[in-house]
Structure 1
Amino acid sequence: MSIGSEVVVLARVVVVGAGYAGVMAANRLAAVNRSDVRVTVVNPRPEFVERVRLHEHAAGVANAVRPLSGLLHRDVRLRVATVDAIAERSVLLDDGGALDFDHLLYAVGSTAASGLAGSENAWSIADLDGAASLRTRLRQLPARAHVVVIGGGLTGIESAAEIAYRYPSLRVELVSQSVASGLPESSRTIIERKLANAGVVLRTGLRVTAVRADGVETDAGRLPSDCTVWAGSFDVPDLALRSGLPVAPDGRLRTDDALVCAGHPRIVGAGDAVAPPGHVGDQLRMSCQAAIPMGAHGADTVLALIRGERPAPVSIGMTGQAMSLGRRDGFIQATHRDDTPREFVLSGRVAAVVKERVCRYTITLMRFPRAYRWLPGPTPTAPAPPPVAAR
């Protein structure tokens, strides 16, 4: 386009995915008020899903969905579609259309990992459809029905506690090798006690081998189940792999330390589906705590590329692990910036209030993207130089 006699070259930026990373990136890009940058977000649905609330959505105590129209910057265009493939300068959509781009921000997020025999017999809360289906199933269960939650991480802990508090007539069991394995023993003891107080039966030291329609097979025998909830590990969409982009062994998009895709300087990654080098990304577990600052840094990297500048390395520090244990209880483990636990913990009603405020604050952050600042990461350890060949 042209303004007077000045020719302005339009930079078309396509953001793939409207989760925490994608929305933050799109809003931060649009908020610079540059007439030469046009931002389009491609997402399969017109709503934003608060994944940190999916366990609440499944239990029927909260709604994890809000319209993207009320969250995206007014200058961001939304295209409701699924990206089937990423070509050199365009994305191909499932509705037969295509969008050309000068820069692309890859923020497709994560999904529930599959591979467990009989996984089709379990309800997953890794996405909205699974959580909504589980919500319907829980409402249909009679008193004293068995609900088995597989997975002892934060998602499994929160899900088991929320279901037990919301449906006290159900028998809720949490099955896992361990509970909150990354936390200190003292923290695990507190969490296990709180789960027991909520009515959750803990079955630790077990490995699930298969899910049946009426039960769960473990290495120690079979557990009856009228409703099995999968809250295990996460996976990522295979869009990068299918598009011929470089990926890590787990399918995440490979990037450099500024989040630029290796060998594809027009593509920038952010969020769960991205694998930056270990010296800047080892502490970045899949979470909105990491996705939001990654989205902001990804936007800054795109802007630097548009200006022809060298983007800065990403630096993000973690602050803690927070979990709700029903509506009136919670637990927060403070961490160092490298995500290793500190001594400080917060528990009880105060922790539940703090966790709720954190969830609300994530929405506020994305509405004020240019003002957003984040904790820098631990002092990076520079990658080792390549060995010198002997002469």
Structure 2
Amino acid sequence: MSTPEHPSTLNKVVVIGGGYAGTLAANHLRMRADVGITVVNPRPEFVERVRLHQFVAGTREATVDFGTLLGEGIRLVVDSATHIDTTTRTVRLASGRALDYDYVIYAVGSTGAIPSSVPGAAEFAFDLAEFEPAQRLRARLAELPLDAPVTVVGGGLTGIETAAELAERGRAVTLVCGRALAPSFGAPARRAMSTWLSRHRVEVVEDDMVREVRPDAVVLAGGGVRASALTIWAGGFGVPRLAAASGLRTDELGRLLTDETLTSVDDDRIVATGDAAAPSGRPLRMSCYAAGPLGAQAADTVLSRIAGTEPAVISLAFSGACVSLGRRTGIRQLARKDDTAVNLYVGGRMGAAIKEVTCNFAVKRIRREARRPGSLIWVKGGPRPEQPAPGPRGVTTP
């Protein structure tokens, strides 16, 4: 990886975000020698988000040197993008700098989503969707006695993995699921999860949600008050507001609205990928699994536009999802190509091994793409049904 300014004769592509999708997209762009690639990322290191629950529990670190991931010639700018000016084709940065571009790959990813509607949540709850909040959470955990009650809010995979990791380390954990435990998994896999959590003394609360967070307790919608020396919010994800702040249309969560080639509906010089993309207003599941293929497909769209050819529509088939239950058990849920679960799963130590291979592969495929741009392959899905075109240009979906 090198950092000189790109010659003016190159097609300048600014990749905003150095996560799984953005980093792979940057490497994939090197299929053409006349592309100058700049990655803008707020941190000098790559964050393995799928490892943050381990980082919080103290069982593993979660950062990787960008120098081992980005291919030769890619420039890394450690800064935050604050505005995309589509008129002047510049990306403004928090430092006051501005980067010229011919194309932008919008790969800002996702963030934590602690709701302002829940009293006390913003003040007293911790999230772990990003590295800095995870650092604060890890430090707070280190201050607590082992038997201090911990509440994890959210019955999705992040909440389950966090609760399981802490329980295996001897923590007293309550998992408040809201509607249900792992609703995207099949019934047999959910039963296996429930059994593991029960054996490790995790109290699972279903069909109830947190109505208020206090410094030392949570109040449930059903009226119960539970002691909680530490409350961790894992109840979903948000998206940075950069697109909306730049006058680009987004969905209700803030994901950039694109067509099926991942091109912004407002500007064909801006291509979105990963968690921050909403193709046809119907985003794919936020996941590390989808990030790599979407990153490659976003880069292919840019390369097609440079070449003057028609970009291909996105195509990605899902095969399931993984969840870790501590360090020795995991579940690999199998699914149809449209991401709907079937009643088949792989559990136990084999499930844990599959999850670990999956996490390792997410980084390895980025390194492989750096060595051999265009090497990523993925399982293709069928065409997605057509949807009505978005509303008038410049209107952000409420």
Aligning the two structures, in what range does the TM-score lie when normalised by the shorter sequence? over 0.9
Within 5 A, what are the aligned runs for 1:126-145? 126-145=129-148
The aligned residue for residue 202 of structure 1 is: 204
Displaced runs of 4 or more, over 4 A: none
Aligned equivalent of 1:232, options 230, 235, 238 = 235
CA distance in 2 between counterparts of 1:8 and 1:268 reads 21
2:387 pairs with 1:383:
yes
- CA-based RMSD of the aligned residues comes to 1.7
SS at match of 2:294: helix
Q: Which residue of 2 aligns with 1:348?
A: 348
Deviation at 1:379, TM superposition (A): 4.0
- Are the equivalent residues in 2 in contact too, given 1:176–1:208 (CA < 8 A)? no
Mapped pair 1:374 → 2:378: yes
Shift of 1:117: 2.2
Aligned to 2:79: 81
Q: State how far apart, in whole Å, the 2-side matches of 1:342 and 1:161 are.
A: 23
CA distance in structure 2 between the partners assigned to 1:135 and 1:378 by the alignment: 42
Q: How does 1:169-188 map to 2 (within 5 A)?
A: 170-177=171-178, 178-188=180-190
- The partner residue of 1:117 within 116, 119, 129 is 119
Quick check: 1:162 aligned with 2:162? no
**Aligned with residue 192 of structure 1, among 191, 194, 201:** 194
| C-alpha contact 1:270 1:298 (8 A) present in aligned 2 | yes
**Cα distance in structure 1, aligned partners of 2:143 and 2:236:** 27
CA offset digits 1:15-37 (Å, max 9, x no partner): 0000000000001112x151x21
- 2:193 is paired with a residue whose SS is helix
Secondary structure of residue in 2 paired with 1:223: strand
Task: Give the Cα separation in 1 of the matches to 2:285 and 2:298.
Answer: 17
Give the C-alpha shift of residue 141 in structure 1: 1.1
Greater shift after overlay, 98-107 or 189-198? 189-198
Number of the residue aligned with 2:396: none
2:149 paired residue number? 146
Does the alignment pair 1:363 with 2:363?
A: yes
Alpha-carbon displacement from aligned partner over 1:291-334 (angstroms, at most 9, x marks no partner): 11100000000000111111000001111110110000011101
String of CA shifts for 1:339-367, please: whole Å, max 9, x gaps: 00123210001110110011001111111
Task: Please give the TM-score of this superposition, normalised by the length of structure 1.
Answer: 0.92
Shift of 1:384: 6.5
The gaps in structure 2 that reach 5 residues or longer are 1-6, 391-398
Contact 2:153 2:235 in 1 (8 A): yes
- Contact residue 259 and residue 270 of structure 1 kept, 8 A: yes
Q: Flag the 1:378–1:210 CA change in 2: closer, same or farther, 3 A.
A: farther
What is the CA–CA distance in structure 2 between the aligned matches of 1:379 and 1:297, rounded to whole Å? 14
Give, in whole Å, the separation in 1 of the partners of 2:280 and 2:330.
33
Q: Which moved more, 1:327-336 or 1:195-204?
A: 195-204
- How far the C-alpha of 1:118 sits from its partner, in A, is 1.4
One-letter amino acid of the structure 2 residue matched with residue 362 of structure 1 = A
What's the offset of the Cα at 1:114? 2.6
Partner of 1:44 in structure 2? 42
Verify: 1:249 aligned to 2:247, yes or no: no
**Identity rate, percent:** 44
Matched letter for residue 68 of structure 1: F
> Structure 2: how far apart are the matches of 1:175 and 1:95?
40
Q: CA deviation at 1:368?
A: 1.9
Q: CA deviation at 1:137?
A: 1.5
Cα distance in 2 for residues equivalent to 1:66 and 1:125: 18
